[in-house]
Amino acid sequence: MSVTTALKGPPTAETRRERIPVLSRVSSSVVYVVERLLPDPYIFALLLTFLTAILAVVLTPNRSALTIGLAWYNGVFNILTFAFQMVLVLVTGYALASSPLVHRGLARLASIPQTPRNAVSMTIVVGMTASWLNWGFGLVIAGLLAREIAKRLRVDFGWLVAAAYTGFVISTEGLSGSIALSQATPGSALNLVEKVTGHGLPLRDTVFTAFNLAPVLLLFVALPIAFRFTEPSTGDSVFVDPERLRKEDTADLR
């Protein structure tokens, strides 16, 4: 130990706090509030359901409870086709991401980064690329990549998973975006452009336009950089047991 280090002594809490990036402090505060105060998503679903019912009583001419109840019931079952399509997207995305070829590719990618920040940046880029191709594929492959990295590198798992699912922000601008696909599908109930103008919009006029691709490319650069400044401090980090993840994978194979 040098004389200077000995005179300074161990770093105090104030010194350690000053070394934490500003974005990291902000994200830690947000995580603290969300974990302790944010209700379960099911609570929001219930509140919005009751709020909609109240607004229907106040604002619509047919105000009977039976009419409102039947409208809610019919609405739920009218979206079953769409819900089933979304389930198929997730299932097929999981099947593709879990295939041996893709799994080996993820294992190779996970072995590349040597630092937590590089691992997070790479996870975001991979997740965004996969989400642009197919949002179901992106959701699954990003989570699997995060697991593979956690087996090889000591990194805060919550931060890594958050980075993985950040790629989902461009899913609607990609090839599986519901809005773009519905406007390109003749006869679709959601093709509002066709109903108004008599013709649909091909993907070259939506997904592959400059005003859509430019912000996507900007996010490809900005998000990996921004996440590098949100790394949690060592005291706030939560690490997973790599051996436990390996055992879970072995159990799944059986």
Token representation of residue 100: 């041996």
Q: pLDDT tens digits for the chain (254 residues)?
A: 433 333 334 444 444 444 667 767 777 777 777 778 888 888 998 999 999 989 988 888 877 888 888 888 888 888 888 788 888 878 888 888 878 898 889 999 999 999 999 999 999 999 999 999 988 888 889 989 999 999 999 999 989 999 999 989 999 999 988 889 989 999 887 888 998 998 889 999 999 999 999 999 999 999 999 999 888 888 778 888 888 888 877 765 55
Using a 10 angstrom Cβ sphere, with 0-12 exposed, 13-18 middle and 19 or more buried, the burial of residue 71 is middle
Q: Are 186 and 194 in contact (CB under 8 A)?
A: yes
Q: 149 CB contacts (<8 Å, ≥6 apart)?
A: 110, 113, 119, 123, 155, 160
Output the pLDDT for position 230.
87
Which residue in the block uniquely carries the two structure tokens 């461009």?
170
Write down the pTM of the prediction: 0.73
pLDDT of res. 7: 36
Quote the pLDDT of residue 15.
40
Residue 170 burial (C-beta neighbours within 10 Å; 0-12, 13-18, 19+): buried
Listed by start position, the domains of the chain span 40-78, 79-254
Identify how many contiguous H helices and E strands the chain contains and give both numbers.
Answer: 14, 0
Burial of 108 (0-12, 13-18, 19+ CB in 10 A): exposed
Measure CA of the first residue to CA of the last residue in the chain; give whole Å.
52
- What are 201's two structure tokens? 């919009």
